[in-house]
Structure 1
Amino acid sequence: MLSYDELTSPERELWDAFPEGRRVDLRTGVPDTDAPPAGDRWGPDRTVRAAVVATLLLGANDDRSGTVAALRLTGARITGRLNLSGTEICHTFSLQGCRLDEAVQLHGATTRTIEITNSWVPGINAELARIEGDLDLRRSTFEGGFLILVNARMAGNLLISDARILDPEEWAVRAGGLVLNGGVFGQRLTTQGGLRLPGAQLLSGLFLQGARLGNTAGVALAAGGMAASTVDCSQGFAAQGGVLLRRARIEGLLTFEGAQLNGDGVALDCVSMHVGDFDYRTATPLSGLVDLRSAQATWCQDSEQSWPREVLLEGFTYGSIRFWDAPSAAGDDGPPTRDGVARRLAWLRRNPGYVPQPYEQLAGWYRQIGHDDDARRVLLAKQRHRRLTLSPSARAWGHLLDVTVGYGYRPWLAGVWLLALTLLGTLAFSTHSPSPVKRDEGSPFQPLVYTLDLLIPLGGLGQRTGWYWPNSSLQWLSYLLIAFGWMLTTAIIAGITRTLQKN
């Protein structure tokens, strides 16, 4: 136990101010001198030992009645190791503009709000800590260390806006299993390591607008299995590394509007993610692929410029989806445009290989909003894509179905073919006179009826069996029309059957 006589002048000032919760300010008023990075040059008049801070926080000199004790210190250099692991801290702890020589140890501690703002800190280990308030680290710099919050619980928020975490190991923040009744507010956060939040529960959400995350190991944000109300990575958010949201549950908005995601390999992993509103209007296309397999979104919006070359879409389902036009010159977003089927099909083709589900999902959405013609165009594109995977004979049959009836989704093509062949036969047969099979029997020759009799394989109009052509070219034309009639009829039946089975 430290005695009062052992304390230095700034330590005595802090000791005397603690019972009343007064702030002790040791700054000189010269900005360059007071900057925490220069704190290693601060002399004894601005130095407080970590042991003194710990002694006060653990209950020394807090027996003055009528006041609320609190430790509030500004502009001090704290030497030694501040070790509060496993302790119960009942007082507010506030450091502003300070420099700590060693990492703060809060492993398993129970405490109220902790404020270490605009300070220089080698690191904070608060694994398994219980914080009945906020952990406020705004504008602080972590150099050579990291922030550990594994399985910690907070009644308030984690505030790391404008903070910098430099030169850690692989991860700048390790917070797997973190439970917050509030949220993580990291606007304009800068890190040289990744944020690791697997299984975290963030009641108010994760807010990283304008943050810049970098990780040479390849993952900038690892939040698999995270549960949050909102994840906001917009307004200039930049990730130099992958963003992993596999199996995350986001009740409200997930937005990357105006963000830059530059991960190699998988830039955005959303496999089996559940989200309310998914806003994917990034500032630039991703350098890596986007994996949306088995993800579910109630509402999804994107822009043509946002998607990378490769997007995995198998199992991705959504209640509504739309493109947004690029921002106007004034910087305002334009109104949502009606989706063009061609653009959506180009989006589907970014999925490698043939996968039927994305086509079925998109067609189902078009039906849902009453665009049945667009739905048929999507299903036709699906059949054309599938045809590329078939054997040569099956591809040939597919081409026939496509040309004649559009795989059943364009039945009007059959009418076009029938009209064209009827016109061809009528004109050709009207230039010559055929010979009757039996003289003075049957109806007079009529080129139009004769052509229709050749094209319609079922039944008969009495012309085909009553006349023949001495001219071999016209006789061969009649044979070809019979063959075309059978092929056209077969294609129509196959196409209609396919459509009826599908609908």
Structure 2
Amino acid sequence: MLFDNILKIARRLIMSYVLLMKRYMKINFLKLLIIILFIMNTSLCFASQNGTLLLKLAENKFENLTTQEIKLINCTADGKLLDFSSMNTSLNDPLQYEKWGNDRSIRASVIEWLCTDRDAYQFITHLGIQLKGAYISGVIDLLFSNINFPLLFQKCAISDGIILLHSELKSLYLPGSYVRNIIGDGVTVNGNLIMNNGFSSSGELRFLGGKIFGNIQCDGAIFNNENGYAFNADRIEVKGSVFFNDGFKAIGEINLVTAKIENDLSFAGSSLQNENLVVINADRLRVNGNVALSEGFKSNGQIRFLGAEIGGNLQCNDCSFFNNNNDAFLAQGMKVNDNIYFTENFKSIGNIDLLGIVIGGSLEFMNCEITGYLKLSNSFVNEYVLFDSVRIINTANDAIIADGMECNGIIHFKKGNYIYGETRFVGATINGQFICDDVHFFNNNNKSLNLAFINLKNTLVLTDKVAVEGETRLVGAVIDGDISIEGAELRNSSGYSLRADRVSVKGSVFLRQYLLVDGIVSFSSANILGNFAVNNIKQSPYYKLDLRSANVGVLWDSQDSWPSKGNLFLSGFEYNSIRDESSFSSEIRLQWLNRQPNDSNKYQAFDYFARILKDNGYIDDANSIMYNKEVEITKQMPFLEKIFRKLNYYVIGYGYKPWRLMIIISIIVLVGSLVFKFAFRNNLMLQTRHIHLKPKPFFYSVDLFIPIIDLRQSKYWTPITNKIISRKILKNTNFKIHSKFIYYYFCFHIFAGWISTTLLIASLSGLIKIINKSI
């Protein structure tokens, strides 16, 4: 045949030329090898029998086939690659296709004909069309085509794009090529869709509702469609994996809304740019494998996974998100069957919003930094949440928002953590422990660590490497284990450093080991079944302890934990016992009770502590406490009431020292016996009845003074009221004594007796104590 003869002649001429050059010009062996390979490659594209037949069909279709198109037809018929690459590698960049010239140009219509003509199809091998380094002019329009062989366009320039609307391909390979855009709505690719190794585009790559039965590989590609869709695959179904790895770059949005991917989705080492807009939209995405945003991944814009489902892990390792003052990663309602990792120098300038997510495994933040907030509200984590070497900074408001979160494992702030802004776990349910080993919470003068209404099935732990600047809040929390805050620093001089009002603790509360407190500690209305241990507190002048209406099992405190005068609030505070027996001393506890403010609410604490002392057998100490309570009450009384209470104090010691009255009674009786002795001797007493008894001044004084006894003395003699006697006191001085003075004393003696006897009985019976309590 003609082409065979031409081939033989050309090969002989070239070989003769090569031998001549080698003999006389000593050419380099490498150059010789390159020339030989070029000859072999070129010779392969000369017509075979299938090529001749295919060429005839093409000539009937096209009147003016170029040499390049003839080569393509022949190579396609033989299943060979047609390579138009230049020996000068600088001329092989598809983006510089305008410099290539016509000797590398092929019309798109020729490729369309090869793909769609039924007569041509029988001459095309299973290797399909293979083209390298060519410029394809015009749009490759394969609308509604069914192509059963692969298409390979390697380092080609397809400047007018490709149309694959509702077509079916075996596979499409575009490694290193430049394609303006691809319109592939409803396309089906039975193999792989390859756009990698330097592939680039300048418009939208659209595969809406497409089906890919292999992988989509875009490693090292560059998609550029600024402010538009760089890759638009809404509702696409991929039976393999989707890779945007190894230096992949996109300017514009990657749209994977409601896409379904059987295996993995990976953006490892990629860079995405769509400033202030969406870079990845994966809302309602379904991925059965892993999703990787890792290995140097970078994004500028918002990443969205709203309502997405991931069958494996979500890996955000060694990557950076940027969407300043907005959500950098928005994944509300996402479901991840395994784990989520934000680790290995992960950085985000912008919020991480994981509201309502469901995680079948764990959630880890390690060696990462977030500028903005982290939202975990109403989320569910089946295993644990770990914060290790994490910095979260949100100067505007909340740093961590986990309200209503549920976690079956522990929440652990392990080491080197710094949280600037409020950390919120309000109403969260944690089935494990909540442990803060090494973390600095900072939200000065505001709520810093907010665990209000948390339902914690285990223990809350804050260790000696924890510092909280701002309020630590446990209001209404329910904790089945202990609260252990030992050696930490709680600073909020302008308000509450620890507020645990209405907290319910089934275990114990430990505030000790040189815990530094700079502010108010409040357990008002708390219910603690175990110990309430407050020991070795490092205080500031702003330290206050509020235990009003709290109820604890065992009070275990030390004097160095007591705040200064006026800063201890104990009204309504109840406890079943005191652990340290030395603390039962009334002398020590009086110091504790008197640290309360001087108001009417302080005295209930005296009553309750006295009751505890009595229950434990410390009767004298209990009475001492109650006595000192009355002393404190007297100090606060108005002037007139204070006078009567002072009399009460001096006479019977508010009912707790009746021996004082007994001394007074003894003195009055003795004085009375002397007065009446004088009266009897000087005939100042009149016998009222004729009896044979002699008067006994002492018994007369007793009988007259104590109205409830009868010694047969007082009713038989009474003072005379109209007699005056004179007694010489000094040498020339007489002292006149009127019998009325005896009568006046007689009346006083009776009156004093009635009052003293009544007070004594009331004091001994406890009636005075009851009256004091009711006042």
Q: Does the CA-based 8 Å contact 1:434-1:468 persist in structure 2?
A: no
Larger Rg: 2
**Matched residue SS, 1:315:** coil
Query: 2-side partners of 1:82 and 1:385: how far apart?
Result: 63
Q: Does the CA-based 8 Å contact 1:225-1:247 persist in structure 2?
A: yes
**Matched residue SS, 1:256:** strand
Shift of 1:499: 5.8
Query: 1-side partners of 2:384 and 2:366: how far apart?
Result: 12
Counterpart selection for 2:463 from 200, 203, 209: 209
Shift of 1:378: 2.6
Shift of 1:427: 5.3
Alignment of structure 1 residues 35-434 onto 2, 5 Å: 47-49=296-298, 70=313, 76-80=318-322, 81-102=328-349, 103-111=351-359, 112-122=361-371, 123-144=373-394, 146-168=399-421, 171=422, 173-193=423-443, 194-210=448-464, 211-215=466-470, 220-228=471-479, 229-240=481-492, 241-242=495-496, 243-257=498-512, 258-263=514-519, 267-276=520-529, 277-281=531-535, 282-284=537-539, 287-308=542-563, 309-321=566-578, 337-349=582-594, 350-355=596-601, 356-388=603-635, 392=639, 394-426=641-673, 433-434=681-682
Letter aligned with residue 490 of structure 1: T
Closer/same/farther in 2, CA of residues 285 and 144 from structure 1, 3 Å limit: closer
Query: 1-side partners of 2:769 and 2:402: how far apart?
Result: 58
Query: 2-side partners of 1:478 and 1:181: how far apart?
Result: 82
After TM superposition, the structure 1 stretch with the greater mean CA deviation from structure 2, 1-10 or 490-499, is 1-10
Q: Does 1:490 align with 2:739?
A: no
Match of 1:39 in 2: none
Query: 1-side partners of 2:742 and 2:389: how far apart?
Result: 90
Shift of 1:251: 0.9
Closer/same/farther in 2, CA of residues 368 and 2 from structure 1, 3 Å limit: farther
Query: 1-side partners of 2:248 and 2:415: how far apart?
Result: 30
Query: 2-side partners of 1:338 and 1:101: how far apart?
Result: 54
**Matched residue SS, 1:137:** strand
Letter aligned with residue 134 of structure 1: Y
Q: Does the CA-based 8 Å contact 1:200-1:227 persist in structure 2?
A: yes
Letter aligned with residue 183 of structure 1: Q
After TM superposition, the structure 1 stretch with the greater mean CA deviation from structure 2, 425-434 or 180-189, is 425-434
Shift of 1:72: 6.4
Deviations 1:191-241 (A, max 9, x none): 1121112211111122112221112xxxx1122111112211222332325
Shift of 1:487: 2.2
Query: 2-side partners of 1:480 and 1:499: how far apart?
Result: 24
**Matched residue SS, 1:209:** strand
Letter aligned with residue 584 of structure 2: D
Shift of 1:357: 2.8
In terms of fraction of residues, the more strand-rich structure is 2
Closer/same/farther in 2, CA of residues 417 and 144 from structure 1, 3 Å limit: same
**Matched residue SS, 2:521:** strand
Shift of 1:178: 0.9
Closer/same/farther in 2, CA of residues 399 and 96 from structure 1, 3 Å limit: same
Query: 1-side partners of 2:336 and 2:247: how far apart?
Result: 22
Shift of 1:414: 3.2
Shift of 1:442: 5.6
Query: 1-side partners of 2:659 and 2:552: how far apart?
Result: 36
Match of 1:446 in 2: 696
Q: Does the CA-based 8 Å contact 2:610-2:625 persist in structure 1?
A: yes
Structure 1, unmatched stretches of 5+, are: 13-18, 26-44, 63-68, 325-335
Query: 2-side partners of 1:11 and 1:125: how far apart?
Result: 29
Query: 2-side partners of 1:11 and 1:155: how far apart?
Result: 38
Match of 1:37 in 2: none
Q: Does the CA-based 8 Å contact 1:296-1:318 persist in structure 2?
A: yes
The number of residue pairs the alignment matches comes to 444
**Matched residue SS, 2:418:** strand
Match of 1:332 in 2: none
Structure 2, unmatched stretches of 5+, are: 1-215, 222-243, 250-262, 270-293, 323-327, 726-736
Letter aligned with residue 502 of structure 2: R
Shift of 1:428: 6.0
Shift of 1:124: 1.7
After TM superposition, the structure 1 stretch with the greater mean CA deviation from structure 2, 376-385 or 359-368, is 376-385
Deviations 1:386-421 (A, max 9, x none): 445656554444333333333333333333323333
Match of 1:31 in 2: none
Q: Does the CA-based 8 Å contact 2:467-2:489 persist in structure 1?
A: yes
Deviations 1:141-168 (A, max 9, x none): 2233611111111111111133433443
Query: 2-side partners of 1:400 and 1:489: how far apart?
Result: 16
Closer/same/farther in 2, CA of residues 3 and 107 from structure 1, 3 Å limit: farther
Q: Does 1:437 align with 2:686?
A: yes
Query: 1-side partners of 2:299 and 2:524: how far apart?
Result: 46
Closer/same/farther in 2, CA of residues 10 and 93 from structure 1, 3 Å limit: farther
Q: Does the CA-based 8 Å contact 1:442-1:466 persist in structure 2?
A: no
Shift of 1:456: 1.5
Query: 1-side partners of 2:382 and 2:367: how far apart?
Result: 22
What TM-score does the superposition give when structure 2 sets the normalisation length?
0.51
Letter aligned with residue 290 of structure 1: L
Query: 2-side partners of 1:384 and 1:251: how far apart?
Result: 38
Shift of 1:134: 1.0
Query: 2-side partners of 1:246 and 1:286: how far apart?
Result: 22
Closer/same/farther in 2, CA of residues 11 and 403 from structure 1, 3 Å limit: farther
Q: Does the CA-based 8 Å contact 1:261-1:286 persist in structure 2?
A: no
**Matched residue SS, 2:340:** strand
Match of 2:41 in 1: none
What TM-score does the superposition give when structure 1 sets the normalisation length?
0.76
Shift of 1:128: 1.6
Shift of 1:8: 5.3
Letter aligned with residue 356 of structure 2: G
Letter aligned with residue 219 of structure 2: Y
Letter aligned with residue 139 of structure 1: S
Match of 2:272 in 1: none
Q: Does the CA-based 8 Å contact 2:468-2:491 persist in structure 1?
A: yes
Letter aligned with residue 321 of structure 2: T
Query: 1-side partners of 2:442 and 2:547: how far apart?
Result: 27
Deviations 1:240-279 (A, max 9, x none): 251211111111111211322222xxx1222221112211
Closer/same/farther in 2, CA of residues 186 and 428 from structure 1, 3 Å limit: same
Query: 2-side partners of 1:139 and 1:428: how far apart?
Result: 92
Q: Does the CA-based 8 Å contact 1:401-1:491 persist in structure 2?
A: no
Shift of 1:367: 1.7
